[in-house]
Amino acid sequence: MGEIRLHPRSSASELRATAEAGANIALTKYWGNADADLRIPANDSVSITLDRARTVTTVAFRPDLPEDEVTVDGRALTGPAWERVSRHLDLLRGRAGIAWRAQVVSRNNFPAGAGIAASASGFAALTLAAAATLGLAFSPRDLSRLARRGSGSAARSVFGGFVLLHTGVRDEDAFAEPLYAPDWWDIRDLIVVVSRAEKAVPSGEGHHLAPTSALHQARVARVAELNRQLLDALSRRDFAALGQVAEEDALLMHAVMMTSRPSLIYWLPETLAVIHRVQAWRREGIEAYFTIDAGPNVHVLTLPPYADRLQADLRALPGVQDVIPCRPGPGASVIPNPAE
């Protein structure tokens, strides 16, 4: 694998670069850590990087800044959210041997609270932009390991298309790798937004709670088999096999969440209504499956012949606020000449 090409714009008083990355939807989930400090996931996970939900981040390191400044969609981060970004920048500063603080400006092209994890695209774009700014040339694999330290799912967003994130015993082992390019398979992900409310328990906390569920170890053992089935389904483009795996692991993950102490119940009545709708469609012979992340919004996985009709029908369901149609998209990249 070659190195990621870097195009920093630098002067004596500023080092600056911009990168973009897409969010991803996991078909088998990362839930729970083998090592929480290093964010080494308890199990392997497989995702699709999405084309329509992307983050663009500019990082500028400057000698005159007293501390890091971070804005996301025009709002300055403070408290734990700011600390998380600043700690991540410390990792990169450590590699480059530089102490300069940074100004970070990040924009999402999807609304906050739309049920799309901005941490995956956000930390992938941040890691690449900061590495480019500092002139650090990482292999894509090492970039994904670094992105993982900011957010586990961000390791997958470094790559486009269909992506596998390995668990591991050591930091070196836990990296993502691309399985297939975006054009391997035109799967559609219809993101059904039933709530835009901020989630009560962020996934970072949820990962810590996973081992408190009696079902956690059982799920981790089962996911190994599900990943085997999923890799086989991807290689054969067997949509029914892929969909069955995605639904089973989404339900297993939510069973772990629901049976943690304290219990995490992310679903709303509308979540269940969409699940029932998808299962009814399958009885009618329509190829559609669901998956759900750490929130109430549902991702409906389907194929091109059904996408327009299902999107319209989902929009008509009571309580559905929006449907965002996505396809497999590209991985993270540096933007050489960003518009100011």
CA nearest neighbour of 134 among 59, 56, 84: 59
Exposed/middle/buried for 84, CB within 10 Å: 0-12, 13-18, 19+? middle
209 scored as a contact of ligand DP6 (CB under 6 A): no
211 scored as a contact of ligand DP6 (CB under 6 A): no
**40-69 mask for ligand DP6 (x: CB under 6 A)?**
-----x------------------------
39 scored as a contact of ligand DP6 (CB under 6 A): yes
CB of 207 to ligand DP6, least distance (A): 6
Q: Please report, as residue ranges, which positions from 103 to 122 form the binding site for ligand DP6 (by CB under 6 A).
A: 117, 119-120
Beta strand 45-62 pairing with 162-165? antiparallel
Beta strand 45-62 pairing with 14-28? antiparallel
CB atoms within 10 A of CB 283: 7
CB of 11 to ligand DP6, least distance (A): 34
Size of the site for ligand DP6 (CB under 6 A): 17
CB of 151 to ligand DP6, least distance (A): 3
Q: Please report, as residue ranges, which positions from 10 to 29 form the binding site for ligand DP6 (by CB under 6 A).
A: 26, 29
**228-247 mask for ligand DP6 (x: CB under 6 A)?**
--------------------
Q: Which is nearer to ligand DP6, 30 or 110 (CB)?
A: 30
- Sole binder of ligand DP6 in the list 207, 254, 277, 327 (CB under 6 A): 207
Token pair for 142: 């090492």
- Are 283 and 169 spatial neighbours (Cβ–Cβ below 8 Å)? no
- Sole binder of ligand DP6 in the list 203, 271, 297, 311 (CB under 6 A): 203
**On the CB side of 208, how many CA atoms lie within 13 Å of its CA?**
8
For residue 46, what is the DSSP state? E
- Are 161 and 49 spatial neighbours (Cβ–Cβ below 8 Å)? yes
CA pair distance 293, 271, nearest whole angstrom = 11
CB of 93 to ligand DP6, least distance (A): 21
- Are 161 and 184 spatial neighbours (Cβ–Cβ below 8 Å)? yes
Q: Which is nearer to ligand DP6, 248 or 293 (CB)?
A: 293
Token pair for 304: 């091109």
Q: Please report, as residue ranges, which positions from 125 to 184 form the binding site for ligand DP6 (by CB under 6 A).
A: 151-153
CA 184 to chain centre: 20
- Sole binder of ligand DP6 in the list 111, 113, 204, 211 (CB under 6 A): 204
- Sole binder of ligand DP6 in the list 293, 299, 326, 327 (CB under 6 A): 293
CA nearest neighbour of 192 among 303, 289, 321, 26: 321
Residues that bind ligand DP6 in the complex, under the rule CB under 6 A: 26, 29-31, 39, 45, 117, 119-120, 151-153, 203-204, 207, 293-294
